[in-house]
Amino acid sequence: MEQVINEFLQAASEVLASAIVVLTVSLLLYNLSRNLGNRVARTSGAVLACVTPPYVADVFISLGPSVAATEAALRLQWIGIALMPAALFHLSDALLATTGLPSRGRRRRVIRLLYLLSSAFLLWAALSDDLIRVVNSRAGASLQAGPWLWLFIIYYVLIAWVTFINVNRARLRCLTRSAERRMLYLQAAILTPALGIFPFSVWLSPEQAFSLPVSLLIILANGIVVAMLIFLAYPLSFFGSDQPDRVVKVDLLRFLLRGPGTALLALVVIVFSTRGTRILGLEGIDFIPFAVVTIILVWQWFIALALPYAEKWLVYRDEDDDQMSKLQDLSDRMLTRNDMLQLIEATLEASCNYLRVANAFVIGLSQGGMTLIRSVGQQPYSSEQLQVHQQALSQLTNSITLQARDPRLLSFEDYYIIPLYSPRRQAQSNLLRLIGLFGLSNGTEPSQDSAEMGQMLQRFIRRLEQTLDDLLLQEEIFAALEGLLPQISTTRARADAMEYKPGREAFSEEATEEECQDEVYEQVRAALRHYWGGPGISQSRLLDWRVVQQRLTDYETPVQALRAVLQEAIDKQRPEGERSMTSPQWTIYNILMLRFIEGKKVRDVARRMSLSEPDLFRKQRIAIEALTHTLRALEQEARQTVQNPT
């Protein structure tokens, strides 16, 4: 029985040590991959990197290497132990700088000195027995305290205490409740890595170090370290992130469950299976592949079922839950334009096959005119034919009554034309809205061939009406989003600037109001796409620019003033000489004029400029960037004019 207990405790200790390694490496990669440009993320990565070597050495030693390898592994633990004080102080300095107290040079010099001292202690521990010495016994190899270890302990405890004080100073500088709560979490967990890796066993004899009470204590301590590492990851994930708190929490939750969670379960199965003699009639080593694959599949299935409830309980609550449910429902319902077009094409092909007609097509009607949505058949109806027949089709649509659905087939050229109506009635007049035309080649009149064919034709018509109406509705949604999303400027990074008390260098008003190049680019892009109307220009934050405000005296509305400023900036892209559609010097001007001012389609602009569509999109981005640069220059001139009116 005692042997079974010892085996179990050894396996549990190995699992927890490996779990700490998995967590530290995972969180290190997670922080650095998301917030590499943030100082807190980088310094917290240094702390996590210091946690890794001691536990990697513990896992390695548990595998039973040679005596020389064990001694080397025990000394290599001090890579993390010796550097931990400097890394902790470095992290506390980064937290103080984040809250508005950057170093004036003293803390920076202290950090460099601490890294030098830690490196000196590391070399001292690796090359001599003054700090620690390795003792071999029948129980196993262990570290024992050297005559000068007390010096390192004073250094370790002193820096840990200063770190705790610095984090407390950072917490006191928090203004908002959420920022103070996150800093309190950090303060509670900041010293856990230091306590977890410190070799308390150096004061125990080899027999005591491997005794049952000490083993239980180590398991308990490692379990606490695992929990505190997860607890520490939560507040650290917010620093440097420009995403909302909700997104940060969900991202971290999914990462922990799908990444470290999966690895730890697989590790548990491997460790305990190798120690089993017979499992389901198999040797433990033979049972491992089956067990690992099973636990991974079951765990992923469990995550898929439980994650929505976990997110609702931990992240989304009250109004947030209702709002996110609506957004999720919208995301589930939305189809891409290609999906809609494929559905229309499939409906047209089905109508040709069932009604025994050669060709079928759908034309969409909008304020911009007629557009050939899809055409199928042996000789499909083409866009060129639509250009020729557009006036005649317009007269035909004008003759269609909208008070009720017209069941008749309208004869036109070699086709029967069937009106397509929106299922949504117009709000003011309560009339049906004509949204398209359904064309069938005029062989046998489908609706008069048989009652069954008439019913199928009506089914195809309803399906086309619903799909075409959804397509138009989604285009309206995307157009609104495209115009409104660039106007949303509040981010996690901007919220951080207001969560802490102003420090030695108060936040500059100009710095907070200055819009970065990417934000202005999105504003300009939205305004161009909605140049002749839409939220992209009517609700644009460009309306608040001084260069636009100065034009209000010449125009009736701010939108007209912004439109004039955009036109002026576009005119500045015009080269000298006669306009050419293929000359590289005219590319930027031509794209801006044709795509946004004249409202031409991508296909038409690409054909006129002798470009491929992918090449046109690349050069369109360059054109908008050039226009953005010009607009920023105009705004700077306007500000200088206000500051220096003479």
403 belongs to a structural domain: yes
Q: Do 466 and 534 belong together in one domain?
A: no
Domain match, 36 and 73 both: yes
Which residues, at least 6 apart from 381, have a Cβ–Cβ distance to it below 8 Å?
359, 361, 372, 375, 415, 439
pTM equals: 0.62
Q: Residue 493's pLDDT is what?
A: 52
Do 297 and 230 belong to one domain?
no
Q: How confident is the model at residue 131 (pLDDT cuts 50, 70, 90)?
A: confident
3-state SS, residue 580: coil
Domain CATH for 161:
1.20.1070.10
Per the model's pLDDT, the better-predicted residue between 107 and 452 turns out to be 107
Do 352 and 404 reside in the same domain of the chain?
A: yes
Does residue 497 belong to any structural domain of this protein? no
Q: C-alpha angle with apex 636: 632 to 641, nearest 5 degrees? A: 150
State the DSSP H helix or E strand holding residue 418, giving kind and residue range, or none if neither: strand 415-421
Question: Tokens for 588?
Answer: 């930027």
Q: Where among 308, 333, 358 does a domain terminate?
A: 333
282 found inside a domain: yes
Is residue 490 included in any domain, yes or no?
no
Is residue 464 domain-shared with residue 475, that is, in the same domain? yes
**Residue 403 belongs to domain with CATH number:** 3.30.450.40
In the listed set 207, 224, 242, which residue is the last one of a domain according to the structure?
Answer: 242
Higher-confidence residue: 445 or 81?
A: 81
Instruction: Give the pLDDT of residue 511.
Output: 37
Looking at residue 85, its pLDDT comes to: 93
Share of residues in the chain with pLDDT > 90 (%): 15
Q: Taking all residues of the chain, what is their mean pLDDT, rounded to a whole number?
A: 80
Asked, for residue 488, whether it belongs to a domain, the answer is no
The alpha-carbon radius of gyration of the chain (Å, integer) is 35
The answer to whether residues 54 and 192 belong to one domain is yes
- pLDDT, one tens digit per residue, over 492-535 is 555 555 566 666 554 443 433 444 677 788 888 888 888 888 77
| CA atoms of 71 and 126, how far apart (whole Å) | 10
Helix then strand then coil, % of the chain, to nearest 5: 70, 10, 25
Beta pairing partners, 410: 417
- Tell me: do 292 and 222 sit in the same domain: no
| Average pLDDT of span 11-38 | 80
Token digits for 408?
A: 């008749």
pLDDT score of 84: 92
The count of domains in the chain is 4
State pLDDT tens for residues 563-576.
999 999 999 999 98
Are residue 322 and residue 427 in the same domain, yes or no?
no
Residue 201 clears pLDDT 60, i.e. is over it: yes
Q: Domain check: are 253 and 292 in the same one?
A: yes
Tell me which residue range forms the domain holding 32.
2-242
Identify which of 33-42, 207-216, 626-635 has the greatest average pLDDT.
Answer: 626-635
Classify residue 408: in a domain, yes or no: yes
Evaluate if residue 545 carries a pLDDT over 70.
yes
Is 486 within a domain? no
pLDDT the model gives residue 362 = 92
Instruction: Find residue 362's DSSP bridge partners.
Output: 374, 438
Q: What is the pLDDT of residues 351-392, one digit of tens each?
A: 888 888 888 999 988 766 788 888 998 888 888 888 888 888
What are 119's two structure tokens?
């490196």
For residues 230 and 299, state if they share a domain: no
pLDDT at 157: 93
Same domain, 373 and 399: yes
pLDDT digits (tens, 9 = 90+) for 563-617: 999 999 999 999 988 888 888 899 999 999 999 888 888 888 888 888 888 888 8
The answer as to whether 496 is a domain residue is no
Domain edge (last residue) among 194, 227, 242: 242
What residue type is assigned to position 362 of the chain? V
Nearest residue to 232 (alpha-carbon basis) of 267, 262, 195? 195
Which of 131, 146, 145, 151 is CA-nearest to residue 205? 145
Q: How far apart are CA 185 and CA 95, in angstroms?
A: 13
Residues 376 and 438 in one domain: yes
67-75, Cβ contacts within 8 angstroms, sequence gap of 24 or more:
67/136, 67/141, 70/134, 70/140, 70/141, 71/134, 71/141, 74/132, 74/134, 74/141, 74/142, 74/143, 75/125, 75/126, 75/132, 75/134
The rounded distance, in Å, linking the Cα atoms of 562 and 549 is 9
Task: Give 296-319 pLDDT, tens digit per residue.
Answer: 899 999 988 888 888 777 776 655
